[in-house]
């Protein structure tokens, strides 16, 4: 006995919701920067530092990594626009750049949808 499933009409998605290629490229760079545990810890450390500014001199002991490794990770976060680097004498100070997370938050919010959108289709 063959079971016949009801057919549902296929409605094409609107291309208006498709992310622009350049936006996707830029966001992917932010996601690549965030896809490392050390960089996530660094970003959170800086975000929670007093005045949201952290001196590079305080970071190596807190993370248990070498200075060259720290420099590499900080450079990646700066290149992705997640941190802003400011030279103060001998030391570099870093602060978060919250606006750089706005596109990521927007995409994740859209992906998560609203509770009404969570129902199975």
Q: Based on the number of CB atoms within 10 Å of its own CB, is 39 exposed (0-12), middle (13-18) or buried (19 or more)?
A: buried
Q: Based on the number of CB atoms within 10 Å of its own CB, is 4 exposed (0-12), middle (13-18) or buried (19 or more)?
A: exposed
Q: What global pTM score does this model have?
A: 0.74
Residues with Cβ within 8 Å of residue 45, at least 6 apart in sequence: 54, 59, 62, 63
Name the most confidently modeled range: 8-17, 49-58, 64-73: 64-73
pLDDT, tens only, 57-89: 887 777 888 889 999 999 999 999 999 999 999
Q: How many other C-beta atoms can be found within 10 angstroms of the C-beta atom of residue 10? A: 5
Above 70 in pLDDT, residue 42?
yes
pLDDT confidence band for 117 (50 / 70 / 90): low
Count CA atoms closer than 13 A to 35's CA, side-chain side.
6
- In this prediction, residue 3 carries a pLDDT of 72
């Amino acid at each position: 006995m063959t079971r016949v499933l009801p057919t549902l009409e296929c409605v094409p998605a609107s291309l208006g919701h498709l992310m622009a290629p350049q936006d996707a490229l830029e966001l992917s760079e932010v996601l690549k920067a965030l896809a490392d545990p050390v960089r996530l810890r660094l970003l959170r450390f800086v975000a929670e530092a007093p005045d949201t500014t952290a001196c590079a001199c305080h970071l190596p002991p807190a993370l248990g990594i070498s200075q060259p490794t720290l420099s590499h990770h900080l450079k990646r976060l700066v290149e992705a626009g997640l941190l802003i680097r400011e030279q103060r004498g001998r030391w570099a100070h870093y602060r978060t750049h919250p606006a750089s997370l706005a596109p990521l938050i927007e995409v994740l919010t859209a992906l998560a949808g609203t509770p009404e959108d969570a129902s199975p289709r």
